[in-house]
């Protein structure tokens, strides 16, 4: 039996993985630990095969941030991650998995352009949040050795039942707007159920290094909005009438490129063999079908 410790009690990703692994009670024992204060430092990590580190501050800022907020990103996303990894290694843990982000590669391409990320692409984070994630990676990867495997996951946008972030905004638009821009962009995305499958594979195979978990196919934002609307029995009209205005402000207003720009990971063999398809993932996220881990 593998013993797994998930940092960040009640986190969306941590809770999802915990519920998923609960299907195999004879194979995995999963514990969680809260890292809001320093009491976690008193807990021994001895006996755990893997620490899955998801504790951190999510990216919720737009535009300029305060110096205080900037320092908090580095304190939590960087320093806490490095300290946790060092403790895990000192206590004899065999594997450390860190949830980083595609944000380490900076912003999306402008409308009409394509940003393709490969294993050779150099990270160029935009802002303190992205840099805090990258600095955490740089702090923990050198700790990896034969007895302590460090695995960094850089997922794109994660969506699923109860998710936060950009997906709920798109979902609300799909359910309320009669029209939506018809822009043929491409984005890597990741359904939380597919992430759970991937994390299980990482743990089972004791994988180490840097990986790009993603759905098998790229997602067009306009198609996603149309699929969400369809799931609710609503037809939304996609129109190109707004495209000239969107192109005019692309590169100037960040939310435009975040929604309609293109940013993908190069598809590779680095994907789970067991995947939930796009339309099914939307139905599960929207509650049209019951989702059970």
- Domains of the chain in sequence order: 2-161+189-215 (3.40.50.720)
Q: Which residues pair with 190 in a beta bridge?
A: 158
Q: Of 5, 13, 2, whose CA–CA distance to 165 is shortest?
A: 13
Q: Looking up tokens 């692409």, which residue turns up? A: 121
Q: Which residues pair with 263 in a beta bridge?
A: 187
Q: Are 89 and 161 in contact (CB under 8 A)?
A: no
* Tens of each residue's pLDDT in the chain, 293 residues: 999 999 988 899 999 999 999 999 999 999 999 998 999 999 999 999 999 999 998 876 556 778 888 999 999 999 999 999 999 999 999 999 999 999 999 999 999 999 999 999 999 998 999 999 999 999 999 999 999 999 999 999 999 999 998 999 999 999 999 999 999 999 999 999 999 999 999 999 999 999 999 999 999 999 999 999 999 999 999 999 999 999 999 999 989 999 999 999 998 756 655 689 999 999 999 996 666 65
Q: What is the DSSP string of 99-114?
A: E--GGGG-SPPPTT--
CA–CA gap between residue 45 and residue 9 (Å, rounded): 16
Q: Of 123, 276, 264, whose CA–CA distance to 185 is shortest?
A: 264
94-131 as b/e, with b when 16 or more CB fall inside 10 Å? bbbbbbbbbbbbbbbbbbeeebebeeeeebebebbbbb
Cα angle 84, 158, 67 (rounded to 5 degrees) comes to 55
């Amino acid at each position: 039996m593998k013993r797994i410790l998930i940092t960040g009690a009640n986190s969306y990703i941590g809770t999802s993985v915990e519920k998923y692994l609960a299907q195999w009670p004879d194979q995995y024992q999963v514990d969680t630990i809260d890292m809001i204060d320093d009491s976690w430092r008193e807990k021994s990590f001895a006996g755990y095969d893997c620490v899955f580190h998801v504790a951190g501050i999510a990216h919720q800022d737009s535009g300029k941030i305060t110096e205080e907020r900037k320092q908090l990103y580095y304190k939590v996303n960087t320093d806490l991650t490095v300290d946790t990894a060092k403790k895990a290694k000192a206590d004899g843990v065999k594997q450390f998995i860190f949830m980083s982000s595609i944000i380490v590669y900076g912003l999306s391409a402008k409308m009409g352009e394509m940003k393709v990320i490969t294993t050779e692409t150099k990270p160029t984070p935009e802002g303190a949040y992205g840099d805090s994630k990258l600095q955490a990676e740089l702090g923990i990867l050198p700790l990896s050795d034969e007895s302590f495997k460090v695995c960094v996951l850089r997922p794109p946008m994660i969506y699923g039942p109860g998710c936060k972030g950009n997906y709920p905004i798109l979902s609300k638009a799909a359910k309320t707007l009669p029209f939506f821009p018809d822009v043929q962009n491409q984005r890597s995305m990741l359904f939380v159920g597919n992430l759970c499958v991937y994390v299980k594979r990482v743990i089972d195979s004791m994988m180490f290094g840097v990986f790009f978990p993603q759905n098998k196919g790229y997602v067009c934002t306009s198609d996603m909005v149309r699929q969400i609307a369809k799931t609710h029995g609503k037809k939304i009209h996609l129109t190109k009438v707004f495209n000239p205005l969107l192109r005019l402000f692309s590169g100037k207003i960040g939310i435009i490129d975040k929604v309609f720009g293109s940013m993908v990971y190069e598809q590779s063999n680095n994907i789970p063999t067991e995947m939930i398809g796009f339309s099914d993932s939307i139905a599960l996220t929207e509650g049209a079908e019951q989702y059970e881990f």
